[in-house]
């Protein structure tokens, strides 16, 4: 039952959020945008609630240990998303960087002014169907803009707006997406490349249709959104930066704290932990300063760290080599020394050239280190390789 629900819910959410589907390679959704009409929003919220109820009917004790973990994780995602509905969050139970609030669908970090271009950048562009999908999405941006404006109007009416100081640059983000030449827009970047898989006679037609969609739909839509933000939305944004200025703001803040930390601690408890950590770290810093023999105040020592030449790279080779030392914290150093004492082989000769070579392949090194069983390499050698 659990596996069936996971499969069914996954398919549902992928079809409801086509941009997410595109980002993870789920097929068949690359021509669409998420429907943010009120009926669609309500339907997703209802599905989310029923999904949580359905999961709650599964007897966790009868599941295999692995599926008990899956059950716990999914239950947390669903329960968190259901609680988020009280604050007008999107129903999607798959977490992103921050909760997506439907009453405030745009801010300096997210929104269609960034998400649209980002989606086009990750769309496949190999076959004719891929290019047709890009054109379809260009042609459908106007509706997405209108739905976004409608949501922000609801937010204004409900007193749900972002702080004005954080939103003041957003209109310029919109303007930055408008180009006189459509082919200079990142949205049409795929059409500036050689369409090797498409007959030459069809390439000009595809490119022309994409450019027309950009001129006739994207530009007017983004200009409409820009003007709305400047004349209507920005003046309505709240002056206060404190989330408590929002309706149910304190509860929303507590919800977001739990959303990010996955703990049941209150914001005040977490704040106290932070204060205690600052105090502990400062005491440790004072101890290190005293042990170093430095004569002077804490502020003198900070100035010393900022200005002493010994803390700056001397040349390009130093810039390559020193991070190899700095990035190895005490635990990493201990592990390396432990492995070397056991006769683990050295990786590289320690030269500048070797350092450069390893730096270039750092991504593959870390990727390999993440797979402890890859190519028969032991965990010890993987740890040694990272060090």
Rg, the chain, Cα only: 27
Q: Phi and psi dihedrals of 338, rounded to 5?
A: -65, -45
What pLDDT score was predicted for residue 316?
77
**pLDDT bracket for residue 348 (50, 70, 90):** very low
Backbone phi, then psi, for 104, in 5-degree steps? Answer: -130, 70
Would you mind telling me the total number of residues written for the chain in this entry? 387
pLDDT attached to residue 323: 60
Segment 361-383 shows an average pLDDT of 35
pLDDT, tens only, 53-111: 999 999 999 999 999 999 999 999 999 999 999 999 999 999 888 899 999 999 998 89
- pLDDT, tens digit, for every residue of 120-162? 999 999 999 999 999 999 999 999 999 999 999 999 999 999 9
The 10s digit of each residue's pLDDT in 1-23 is: 899 999 999 999 999 999 999 99
DSSP state of 231: I
Least confident range from 11-15, 46-50, 169-173, 290-294: namely 290-294
Q: What is the pLDDT of residue 193?
A: 85
pLDDT at 219 over 70: yes
Structure tokens at 193: 């490349």
Tell me if 116 sits within 8 A of 177, measured CB to CB: yes
How far is residue 65 from each of residues 7, 55, 69, 112, 185, measured CA to CA in Å? 19, 16, 7, 41, 51
pTM of the prediction?
Answer: 0.75
pLDDT at position 210, please? 97
Q: Which residue has the higher pLDDT, 288 or 339?
A: 288
User: CA-CA distances (angstroms) from residue 333 to 94, 291, 309, 328, 339?
Assistant: 37, 21, 25, 6, 10
pLDDT at 252: 95
Instruction: Please state the domain extents for the chain.
Output: 1-96, 100-264, 267-309, 316-386
Six-digit token string for 118: 């980002």
Give residue for tokens 């919109």. Answer: 174
> How far does Cα 238 stand from its chain's mean position?
26
Which residue is listed with tokens 């595809």?
206
pLDDT the model gives residue 116: 96
pLDDT of residue 143: 97
Question: What does the pLDDT read at residue 335?
Answer: 44
Look-up of token digits 């050689």: 194
Could you tell me which residues come within 8 angstroms of residue 161 by beta carbon, excluding any fewer than 6 positions away? 104, 155, 233, 236, 237, 238
Helix (H/G/I), strand (E/B), else coil: 89: strand
Terminal-to-terminal C-alpha distance of the chain? 44
The residue ranking higher by pLDDT, 385 or 16, is 16
Side-chain half-sphere exposure of 156, counting CA atoms within 13 A? 15
pLDDT(368) > 90? no
DSSP lists the bridge partners of residue 101 as 89
Instruction: Answer for the pair 174, 229: CB distance below 8 angstroms, yes or no.
Output: yes
Mean pLDDT of all residues in the chain?
Answer: 85
Q: What is the pLDDT of residues 21-38, one digit of tens each?
A: 999 999 999 999 999 999
> SS3 of 101, please?
strand
Cα 176 off chain centre by: 21
Q: What is the pLDDT of residues 165-214, one digit of tens each?
A: 999 999 999 999 999 999 999 999 999 987 778 888 888 999 999 999 99
Percent of the chain with pLDDT over 70: 82
Q: What is the pLDDT of residues 191-202, one digit of tens each?
A: 998 777 888 888
Task: Return the residue matching tokens 């023999």.
Answer: 293
Distance CA(354)–CA(359), nearest Å, equals: 8
Residue 159 in contact with residue 244, Cβ under 8 Å? no
Q: How many helices (H) and strands (E) does the chain have?
A: 20, 0
The span from the CA of 211 to the CA of 183, in Å, is 7
Which of the four pLDDT bands, split at 50, 70 and 90, describes residue 322? low
Report whether pLDDT(376) > 80. Answer: no
Answer for the pair 178, 200: CB distance below 8 angstroms, yes or no: no
pLDDT at 321: 66
User: Over 50: is that where the pLDDT of 44 sits?
Assistant: yes
Q: CA–CA separation, 48 vs 89, rounded Å? A: 12
Strand locations in the chain, DSSP E?
A: none
């Amino acid at each position: 039952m659990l596996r069936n629900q996971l499969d069914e819910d996954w398919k549902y959410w992928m079809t409801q959020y086509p941009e997410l589907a595109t980002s993870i390679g789920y097929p068949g959704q690359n021509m669409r945008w998420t429907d943010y009409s009120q009926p669609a929003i309500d339907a997703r919220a209802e599905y989310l609630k029923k999904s949580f109820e359905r999961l709650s009917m599964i007897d966790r004790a009868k599941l295999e240990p692995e599926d008990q973990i899956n059950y716990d994780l999914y239950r947390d995602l669903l329960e968190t998303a259901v609680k988020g509905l009280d604050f007008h969050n999107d129903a999607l139970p798959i977490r992103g960087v921050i909760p997506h609030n439907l009453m405030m669908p745009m801010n300096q970090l997210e929104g269609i002014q960034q998400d649209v271009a980002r989606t086009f950048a990750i769309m496949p562009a190999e076959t004719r169907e891929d290019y047709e999908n890009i054109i379809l999405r260009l042609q459908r941006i106007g509706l997405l803009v209108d739905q976004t404006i409608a949501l922000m109007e609801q937010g204004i009416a409900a007193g749900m707006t972002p702080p004005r100081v954080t939103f003041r640059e957003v209109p310029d983000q919109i303007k930055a997406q408008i180009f006189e030449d459509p082919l200079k827009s990142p949205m049409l970047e795929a059409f500036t490349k050689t369409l090797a898989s498409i007959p030459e006679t069809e390439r000009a037609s595809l490119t022309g249709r994409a450019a027309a969609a950009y001129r006739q739909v994207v530009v007017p839509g983004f200009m409409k959104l820009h003007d709305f933000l400047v004349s209507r939305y920005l003046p309505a944004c709240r002056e206060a930066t404190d989330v408590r200025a929002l309706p149910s703001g304190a509860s929303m803040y507590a919800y977001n704290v739990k959303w990010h930390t996955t703990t049941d601690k209150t914001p005040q408890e977490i704040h106290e932990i932070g204060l205690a950590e600052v105090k502990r770290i400062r005491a440790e810093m004072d101890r290190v300063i005293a042990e170093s023999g430095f004569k002077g105040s804490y502020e003198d020592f900070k100035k010393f760290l900022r200005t002493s030449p010994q803390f700056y790279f001397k040349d390009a080779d130093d810039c390559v080599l020193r991070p190899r030392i700095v990035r190895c914290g005490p635990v990493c150093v201990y592990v390396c020394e432990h492995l070397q004492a056991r006769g683990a082989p050295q990786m590289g000769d320690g030269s500048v050239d070797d350092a450069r070579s390893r730096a270039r392949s750092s991504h593959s090194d870390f990727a390999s280190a993440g797979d402890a069983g890859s190519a028969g390499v032991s965990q010890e050698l993987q740890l040694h390789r990272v060090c």
